[in-house]
């Protein structure tokens, strides 16, 4: 299991625990899912930063391919159709890549 899959699994466990503990509910999770939708500009930027991270060795090829498969290749539709825990985990990873890029490096 690579780091991307571990983040996704951790996000799923946390989300399910929060529902079970009453910290959130399924309706709120559904609303968050829609808020996490990605537009075309974000989609392209995520792919770009993921590729840079793979090329510079801060992300493995397997991790890059995991993201690629979850994002889809031609438009954000595949990402936007993912379950909330997947979208939340990938959004966190995207933010890390953006911060690394703005700081002059692409880090995962």
Q: Is the pTM value of this prediction over 0.85?
A: yes
| CA distances from residue 63 to 30, 32, 94, 97 in whole angstroms, order as listed | 27, 25, 13, 13
- List the domain boundaries for the chain: 3-102
Q: 17: Cβ–Cβ under 8 A, 6 or more apart, which residues?
A: none
Dump pLDDT digits (tens) for 28-71.
999 999 999 999 999 999 999 999 999 999 999 999 999 999 99
CB 93 within 8 A of CB 67: yes
């Amino acid at each position: 299991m690579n780091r991307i899959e571990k983040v996704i699994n951790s996000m799923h466990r946390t989300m399910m625990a929060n529902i079970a503990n009453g910290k959130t509910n399924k309706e709120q999770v559904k609303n968050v899912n829609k808020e996490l939708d990605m537009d075309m500009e974000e989609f392209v930027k995520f792919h770009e930063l993921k590729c840079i991270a793979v090329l510079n060795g801060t992300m493995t090829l397997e991790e890059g391919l995991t993201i690629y498969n979850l994002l889809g290749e031609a438009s954000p539709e595949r990402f936007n159709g993912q379950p909330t825990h997947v979208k939340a985990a990938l959004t966190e990873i995207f933010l890390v890549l953006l911060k690394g890029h703005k700081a002059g490096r692409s880090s995962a």
